[in-house]
A and B are shown apart, each in its own frame.
Chain A
Amino acid sequence: MVLSAALFIIGVIGVMTRRNIIVILMSIELMLNAVNINLVAFSNLWQNAAGQVFVIFVICVAAAEAAVGLGIILAFYRNKETVNIDEMSLMRW
Chain B
Amino acid sequence: MDLIWLIPLLPGLGAAVNGIFGIRYFSKRTAGVLACTTMAIALGVSLTAFVQLLGLSPEARVHDVVLFDWFPRTALEMAGGRIGSLHIPWAFRLDPLSSMMILIVTGIGFLIHVYSIGYMHDEPRGGVARYFAYLNLFCFFMLTLVLGANYLVMFVGWEGVGLCSYLLIGYWYEKKSAADAGKKAFIANRVGDWGFLLGVFLIYFTFGSFDFREVANAAATLPVETAQFGTLSLITLLLFVGATGKSAQIPLYVWLPDAMEGPTPVSALIHAATMVTAGVYMVGRNAVLFTHAPMTMEIVAIVGVLTAVMAASIGLVQTDIKRVLAYSTVSQLGYMFVAMGVGAFAAGAFHLMTHAFFKALLFLCSGAVIHGMAGEQNILKMGGLKKYMPVTYATMMIGTLAIAGIPPFSGFFSKDEILLQAFLKNKFVYGMAAFAALMTAFYMFRLMSLTFFGSYRGAAWETAGHHGADAGHGGHGAWHGPHEAPKSMMFALVVLAVGAVLAGLVGIPTAIGGGNAIEHFLAPSFEPGGAVARADGLAPGVGASHAGAVATGTDAAQGTHAAPAAAPGEAQARLGVAAAAPAHEGAPAGHEGGLSKAFELGLMAFSVLIGIIGIAVAYRFYVRRPEIAARLEQRLAGPHRVLTNKYYVDELYDATVIKGTMASANGLWAFDRRVVDGTVNGSGWMTIFSSWFSGIIDKYVVDGLVNLVGSVLQESSFVFRRLQTGLIQNYALLMLFGVFAFVSIYLLVVRSL
The residues of A that contact B725 with a CB separation of less than 8 Å are: 89, 91, 93
Q: How far is the CB of A21 from chain B (nearest CB, A)?
A: 8
Q: How far is the CB of A55 from chain B (nearest CB, A)?
A: 21
CB of A16 closer than 8 Å to a CB of B: yes
Query: In the complex the two chains form, is B736's CB within 8 Å of A93's CB?
Result: no
Chain A binding surface SS class = helix
Chain B: CB-nearest residue to A91: B726
- B711-730 near A? 1/0 per residue, CB < 8 Å: 00000000001101111110
Chain A: CB-nearest residue to B729: A16
- A71-93 near B? 1/0 per residue, CB < 8 Å: 00000000000000110111111
Chain B: CB-nearest residue to A27: B732
The residues of A that contact B729 with a CB separation of less than 8 Å are: 15-17, 24, 85
The residues of A that contact B727 with a CB separation of less than 8 Å are: 85-86, 89
Query: In the complex the two chains form, is B724's CB within 8 Å of A93's CB?
Result: yes
Within 8 A of A (CB), among B716-753: 721-722, 724-729, 732-733, 736
The residues of A that contact B726 with a CB separation of less than 8 Å are: 89-93
Selected contact of A15 from candidates B721, B722, B732, CB within 8 Å: B732
Specify which of B724, B725, B732 lies most central, judged by the most chain A CB atoms within 10 Å of its CB: B732
**CA–CA, A21 to B736, complex, Å?**
18
CB of A10 closer than 8 Å to a CB of B: no
Query: In the complex the two chains form, is A16's CB within 8 Å of B732's CB?
Result: yes
The residues of B that contact A17 with a CB separation of less than 8 Å are: 729
Q: How far is the CB of A13 from chain B (nearest CB, A)?
A: 10
**CB-CB under 8 A for A91 and B724, given A12-B736, A16-B733:** yes
**CA–CA, A1 to B406, complex, Å?**
165
The residues of B that contact A88 with a CB separation of less than 8 Å are: 728
The residues of A that contact B733 with a CB separation of less than 8 Å are: 16
The residues of B that contact A15 with a CB separation of less than 8 Å are: 729, 732
The residues of B that contact A90 with a CB separation of less than 8 Å are: 726
- A15-52 near B? 1/0 per residue, CB < 8 Å: 11100000010000000000000000000000000000
Selected contact of B736 from candidates A16, A86, A92, CB within 8 Å: A16
Query: In the complex the two chains form, is B728's CB within 8 Å of A89's CB?
Result: yes
**CA–CA, A86 to B727, complex, Å?**
6
| CB contacts between A and B, total, < 8 Å | 29
The residues of A that contact B724 with a CB separation of less than 8 Å are: 91, 93
**CA–CA, A89 to B722, complex, Å?**
14
**CA–CA, A86 to B724, complex, Å?**
13
The residues of A that contact B722 with a CB separation of less than 8 Å are: 93
**CA–CA, A44 to B724, complex, Å?**
43
Q: How far is the CB of A25 from chain B (nearest CB, A)?
A: 12
Query: In the complex the two chains form, is B728's CB within 8 Å of A85's CB?
Result: yes
Chain A: CB-nearest residue to B721: A93
The residues of A that contact B736 with a CB separation of less than 8 Å are: 12, 16
Chain B: CB-nearest residue to A86: B727
Chain B: CB-nearest residue to A88: B728
Chain B: CB-nearest residue to A90: B726
Q: How far is the CB of A10 from chain B (nearest CB, A)?
A: 13
The residues of B that contact A16 with a CB separation of less than 8 Å are: 729, 732-733, 736
Q: How far is the CB of A18 from chain B (nearest CB, A)?
A: 8
Q: How far is the CB of B535 from chain A (nearest CB, A)?
A: 133
**CA–CA, A90 to B726, complex, Å?**
7
**CA–CA, A87 to B623, complex, Å?**
146
**CA–CA, A24 to B732, complex, Å?**
11
**CA–CA, A85 to B731, complex, Å?**
12
**CA–CA, A91 to B725, complex, Å?**
7
Q: How far is the CB of A51 from chain B (nearest CB, A)?
A: 20
- B61-99 near A? 1/0 per residue, CB < 8 Å: 000000000000000000000000000000000000000
Chain A: CB-nearest residue to B730: A16
The residues of A that contact B721 with a CB separation of less than 8 Å are: 93
The residues of A that contact B728 with a CB separation of less than 8 Å are: 24, 85, 88-89
**CA–CA, A92 to B724, complex, Å?**
10
**CA–CA, A27 to B535, complex, Å?**
155
The residues of B that contact A91 with a CB separation of less than 8 Å are: 724-726
The residues of B that contact A89 with a CB separation of less than 8 Å are: 725-728
Chain A: CB-nearest residue to B722: A93
The residues of B that contact A85 with a CB separation of less than 8 Å are: 727-729
The residues of B that contact A86 with a CB separation of less than 8 Å are: 727
Specify which of B725, B728, B733, B736 lies most central, judged by the most chain A CB atoms within 10 Å of its CB: B728
Specify which of B722, B727, B736 lies most central, judged by the most chain A CB atoms within 10 Å of its CB: B727
**CA–CA, A93 to B730, complex, Å?**
13
Chain A: CB-nearest residue to B736: A12
Q: How far is the CB of A11 from chain B (nearest CB, A)?
A: 11
- B540-569 near A? 1/0 per residue, CB < 8 Å: 000000000000000000000000000000
11 other A-B residue contacts (CB within 8 Å) besides A17-B729, A89-B727, A91-B724 = A12-B736, A15-B729, A15-B732, A16-B733, A24-B729, A85-B727, A85-B729, A88-B728, A89-B728, A93-B721, A93-B726
Q: Can you report 14 residue pairs joining A to B where beta carbons are below 8 Å apart?
A: A12-B736, A15-B729, A16-B729, A16-B732, A24-B728, A85-B729, A88-B728, A89-B725, A89-B728, A91-B724, A91-B726, A92-B726, A93-B724, A93-B725
**Nearest 3 pairs of A and B residues by beta carbon:** A91-B726, A89-B726, A15-B732
